[in-house]
Amino acid sequence: MGYIIIGVIAVFIIVLIAANVRVVPQANAYVIERLGAYTATWSTGLHIKIPLIDRVAQKVILKERVVDFPPQPVITKDNVTMKIDTVVYYQITDPKLYAYGVSRPIVAIENLTATTLRNIIGTLDLDETLTSRDIINTQMRAILDEATDPWGIKVNRVEVKNILPPKDIQEAMEKQMRAERERRRAILEAEGSKKAQILEAEGRKEAAILDAEAKKRARILDAEAKKESEIREAEGHAEAIRTVQLATAEGIEFIKKAAPTQAVIALKSFEALAQVANGQATKLIIPSEIQNVAGLVASITEVSKTTKES
């Protein structure tokens, strides 16, 4: 009977110990209380708590979390009411502070996000709010990270997800964007037309310059051709004159070598006079060297006979 009691007690002890063995998974932490007071934080691994004395007060996940908060109504500096929803990326760095620092930490972060967002948007007008997302994100992350340090929470990132202005503001913005696009289109068309006219004018200018250059070149070539023609013509005349002069010189030289008599010379003079008389002149001037026409005729007759006999 005693062995049975000992066996039952041993089994009870084993079951009790097994029931108080805890294995903490990766990226988790357990906050342990002993008799209602904080005593330790268990990290990853095998742990055994004291039965009936220790208890796991809270299991904390250490991985980064993402919370998407619903849209919050805010008022801009120029009194435009809009709704903005944000996304907060946070991570628990101290499980003890997270467990005991604040009640319902996520609700606290949501309320802190809403008030911080209202304070920041209240210093911006509508246009700045729509174009300053990076500034809003940076300011909110810095403020939330500092405010959540006592809670053992680190805010890694804050993103403004959507900015929803009122419907009438959206319609006005759409009209403004359409007008802006029309203005840009008109400017682009005007600039294109201006560039086209400039290019066309430059083309006409270049064409006129090329045409003037071509005409100038043509005139130069014509002048050179005319000059070359005149040179060739002058050279031809000079050559003709030289040829005539050579022929005359050769004739004179031949006459000189032939040693003509006075009668032959007189005959040639007479033939020259006859040719002159056949011209259009109305007067005939006989050289003073011809003194005796009868003697000249006799000389001519004698020369003619001599020529026939020979």
**Spans of all domains in the chain:** 2-61, 65-165, 170-259, 260-310
d(CA 162, CA 72): 10
d(CA 180, CA 186): 10
| First-to-last C-alpha distance (Å) of the chain | 199
d(CA 105, CA 109): 6
Look at 50-59, 133-142, 300-309 and tell me which has the smallest mean pLDDT: 300-309
Quickly state the pLDDT bin for 280 (edges 50, 70, 90). low
% of the chain residues with pLDDT over 70: 81
Task: Give the range with max mean pLDDT: 126-130, 199-203, 248-252.
Answer: 199-203
The answer on pLDDT for 293 being more than 70 is no
pLDDT in tens, 11-66: 777 777 777 888 999 999 999 999 889 999 999 999 988 888 889 999 999 999 99
The answer on pLDDT for 200 being more than 80 is yes
Q: Dihedral (C-alpha) 60, 66, 69, 75: value to the nearest 10 degrees?
A: 120
Range 217-230 average pLDDT: 87
Q: What pLDDT, on a 0 to 100 scale, did the predictor assign at position 288?
A: 52
d(CA 16, CA 2): 21
Quickly state the pLDDT bin for 120 (edges 50, 70, 90). very high
d(CA 155, CA 108): 13
CATH 3.30.479.30 fits 65-165, yes or no: yes
- Residue 84 to residues 127, 133, 215, 218, Cα–Cα distance (Å): 14, 11, 75, 79
Beta carbons within 8 Å of 139's beta carbon, 6+ residues apart: 116, 120
- Estimate the crossing angle of helix 133-148 against helix 105-121, to 10 degrees: 140
% of the chain residues with pLDDT over 90: 29
Mean of the per-residue pLDDT values of the chain: 81
Lookup: tokens for 44: 């990853």
Q: What pLDDT, on a 0 to 100 scale, did the predictor assign at position 283?
A: 55
Strands 45-48 and 21-24 turn out to be: antiparallel
d(CA 129, CA 172): 16
Render the burial of 251-267: b for 16+ CB within 10 Å, e for the rest.
eeeeeeeeeeeebbebb
The answer on pLDDT for 297 being more than 60 is no
Stronger pLDDT, 44 or 245, i.e. the higher one: 44
- Which strands make up the sheet holding 37-42, listed edge to edge? 37-42, 28-34, 54-61
Q: Please give the single-letter amino acid code of residue 52.
A: L
- pTM, two decimals, is 0.55
d(CA 113, CA 77): 19
Look at 171-175, 216-220, 284-288 and tell me which has the smallest mean pLDDT: 284-288
Q: What pLDDT, on a 0 to 100 scale, did the predictor assign at position 269?
A: 61
Q: What pLDDT, on a 0 to 100 scale, did the predictor assign at position 307?
A: 47
pLDDT in tens, 85-118: 999 999 999 999 999 988 888 899 999 999 999 9
Stronger pLDDT, 267 or 241, i.e. the higher one: 241
d(CA 59, CA 28): 7
In this structure, are residues 60 and 95 in contact, taking their beta carbons and an 8 Å threshold? Answer: yes
Q: What pLDDT, on a 0 to 100 scale, did the predictor assign at position 294?
A: 43
Q: What pLDDT, on a 0 to 100 scale, did the predictor assign at position 128?
A: 86
Quickly state the pLDDT bin for 4 (edges 50, 70, 90). confident
Q: What pLDDT, on a 0 to 100 scale, did the predictor assign at position 303?
A: 46
d(CA 135, CA 192): 38
Look at 8-12, 162-166, 286-290 and tell me which has the smallest mean pLDDT: 286-290
Strands 65-68 and 54-61 turn out to be: unpaired
pLDDT in tens, 181-190: 888 888 988 8
